[in-house]
A and B are shown apart, each in its own frame.
Chain A
Amino acid sequence: MSETIYVVIDHTNGEIRNASWETLVLGQRMAAQSGFELHALILGDDPGPVAEQVGRKQLDSVIAVADPKLRSYEPDSHCAALSQVLAEDAPHILLMAHIYQNIDLAPKLAAAIGTGLLTDCIDYRWEGGGFTFVRQVFRNKIDAEIRIRSRHPWLVTVQSGAFNSDDLEDGSAPPASRVVDLASVQVRRESLETIEGMKGGVDLTKADIIVGVGRGIKKEENLQLIHDLAEALGAEIGASRPVVDNGWLERERQIGSSGQNVQPKLYVACGISGAIQHIVGMKGAQCIVAINSDPNAPIFNIANYGIVGDLLEIAPVLTRKIRELKS
């Protein structure tokens, strides 16, 4: 019997989540290296069209799980459906994207089937016939290699951006399906309304230059330094979440997984540590400058240029030099 790797492909309104494509890249690599089979799982009330798209990638099959109760996400039905499929098919590993829906679902599924879950994985190793995984710990400052100790299927969620969906191998995978019985599932969570919280006048996605400000600015009064720098550069101001939570800047200036996704030519990160939830929103910038007093701040790992020092001292000098340059 050959071992199998399953990948859940998530979609909203028929559109496949990019993070799921990235997760499939990891699945393809793990399968190629181990010789395990690779199958995709697609849940929904009508998963056919999504399954068809996934079928054009290199996999052993694309398994559709259709049920009216899987129309939109809610943990009880989704957990029950996946538990049933996993019990029947007994894969070695189930991979999912580390998106908010799976932050909600994966731990419940792991508890329900009693197996190990490793979240937010960024890499894997295949050694001596077994997989281990790499994830970041201690505020993204340290990488840990971790072994899951449990029965199979192991559950692994994959960090957005850890793999590149451009690296997907094309192919042709036969369609398959599984029937689940959700009649007895008691749905306890009722979805009420969905609201958009970031409507506003600012559109950071069109800005060429963005000055990003983080908790390192320390006080609201100090924000003037950032306004000055942004004005000198002709830049928009973006922010990390804590700055927005403090009410110092408008919500629509938040950059990151729960905020805007920006791709300016230049991003100047001022007093931002570089948490993954921030980085996913700005790593597409052509050039990243980081100003941070901590030489080990993870933001330096993705920056092109860095200055280690006190933002309150450096920002005004930078503002002055830019003004000199422009006059």
Chain B
Amino acid sequence: MKIVTCLKDVPGRDTRYQIGSGQNWINESDVTWEINECDEYALEEALKLKESLGGEVTLLTLGPQRSEKAMRKGLAMGADRGVHVVDTASRVLSPYPVAKALAAALEKEEFDLILAGTQSDDFSYAQTGVVLADLLGLPHATIVMEVAVDSDAKTVRVLREMESGWFQWVRLPLPAVLTIQAGISKVRYPSLKGIMQARRKEIRQINLEELGLDWEHMPSLEILSLAFPETDSKVEILEGPPETAVDALVDKLRREAKVL
């Protein structure tokens, strides 16, 4: 079973965002980058499938040189190799061009299954995996909680999450693209040995600018401006040390909100 898993790095969970001077991107100088949460789960799923069925796990990333760090972590977790589409021009990319570039990078790869995350934690577009599937002419399933490859290895059964606590099993022919939901298993930590081995694993680099994509004519999303939400928020922050703040809160809940 040859599995490709998409891996993207995003600003870490604790990032205190600052909007950059151009007003249409964040100031990246203080950002630490992490593997996108559901991509870690996608990788975990890929590694488990490889353990039970044999095969190979290839990481696929589009990002600047910086993203190699996230890929090395993925290799340390157990992926076999990586394909890095290097964004030398630091473009702020939207789903369609990303999917187009990923599809182009896959032309020389063999695979039975592609896993992506359900959504990225920076843009949360929830698009890229499905667009990639369609560009490759492959079937897909989204918000996937469980993956079971059928014994003939020609089809896969997956459990999709639906709203309000419902789930649905569906069957797809392989190759297929699945977008994996966060939290569906326990993600492994890289072992020391894994970290050592990861340094020597191959990452095939492809320059994004050399893929010959027609940037002018691809559908894209242009970020005009970023702003912290104007809160018409009515929130009353109760200040002071815990004792004071909590006293004030209890008082408000009793006298103002009348819920205690």
Contact = CB atoms under 8 A, between A and B. Distances in A.
A107 B127 contact: yes
B221 A148 contact: yes
B168 A194 contact: yes
Interface centre among A104, A147, A148 (most CB of B within 10 A): A104
Interface in A116-131: 116-120
Given A149-B221, A189-B170, A245-B183, A103 B165 contact: no
Contacts of B243: 317
A257 B26 CA distance: 29
Contacts of A286: 257, 259
A142 B228 contact: yes
B164 A258 contact: yes
A108 B130 contact: yes
A272 to B, nearest CB: 13
Contact of A150 (B169, B220, B231, B238): B220
Given A146-B224, A196-B166, A258-B164, A110 B219 contact: yes
Interface residues on A, range: 35 or more
A100 B26 contact: no
B126 A103 contact: yes
Given A110-B96, A192-B157, A141 B221 contact: no
A104 B165 contact: no
B166 A108 contact: no
B250 interface: yes
A189 B141 contact: yes
B242 A115 contact: no
Contacts of B245: 307, 309, 314
A4 B38 CA distance: 37
Given A192-B157, A289-B253, A305-B253, A142 B19 contact: yes
Interface in A98-113: 99-100, 103-104, 106-108, 110-112
Interface string A190-201: 111111111000
Interface string B37-51: 000000000000000
B131 A111 contact: yes
Contacts of A84: none
A286 B258 CA distance: 10
Interface in B213-260: 218-229, 231, 233-238, 242-243, 245-247, 249-250, 252-254, 257, 259-260
Interface string B157-171: 100111111111111
A61 interface: no
A327 interface: no
Nearest to B172: A189
Interface of B: 11, 13-17, 19, 26, 94-96, 99, 118, 121-131, 133-135, 139-143, 157, 160-173, 182-184, 218-229, 231, 233-238, 242-243, 245-247, 249-250, 252-254, 257, 259-260
Given A136-B124, A301-B235, 20 more contacts: A76-B139, A99-B163, A100-B143, A107-B95, A117-B96, A137-B226, A138-B17, A141-B228, A145-B223, A147-B222, A147-B224, A191-B170, A195-B167, A241-B182, A245-B183, A258-B163, A295-B237, A301-B233, A305-B257, A306-B237
